[in-house]
Amino acid sequence: MTDLGPLNYFLRIHATGTASGMFLYQRQYATEIIEWAGMPTCHPCRTPVEPGAKLTSHGPHVRDPTLYQSLVGALHYLTFTRPDISYAVQQICLFMHDPRE
């Protein structure tokens, strides 16, 4: 085993040590997901899902379901440091088997 020094970046998670503990963040990873999804001009919002919105399994199929599934997987990994998006990611995970527009 080799000591690589203090933890800084591992598995797309940045780590910063403080006097009270360790701060983990995935800002660069979140930016990469936004660019990968083709949404670099989007702006943050207070709630990632509109309250009371109902997703449905009706409508046209997504052109590339593997892209949808990959993005959902990436967002799921992002919930480790961003629990505030867990509900929104859970809602889109319900449609992984048959994604719709």
The most confident of 51-60, 72-81, 90-99, by mean pLDDT: 72-81
Q: What is the pTM of this model?
A: 0.78
Is residue 99 assigned to a domain? Answer: no
**pLDDT at residue 54 is higher than 80:** no
Is residue 4 assigned to a domain? Answer: no
As a whole number of angstroms, the distance between CA 13 and CA 27 comes to 8
Is residue 25 assigned to a domain? Answer: yes
Q: What is the pLDDT of residues 10-37, one digit of tens each?
A: 899 999 988 999 989 999 999 999 999 8
Mean pLDDT across 61-89: 90
Strand partners, 24: 15
Is residue 1 assigned to a domain? Answer: no
Is residue 101 assigned to a domain? Answer: no
Number of domains the chain contains: 1
Range of the domain at 58: 9-93
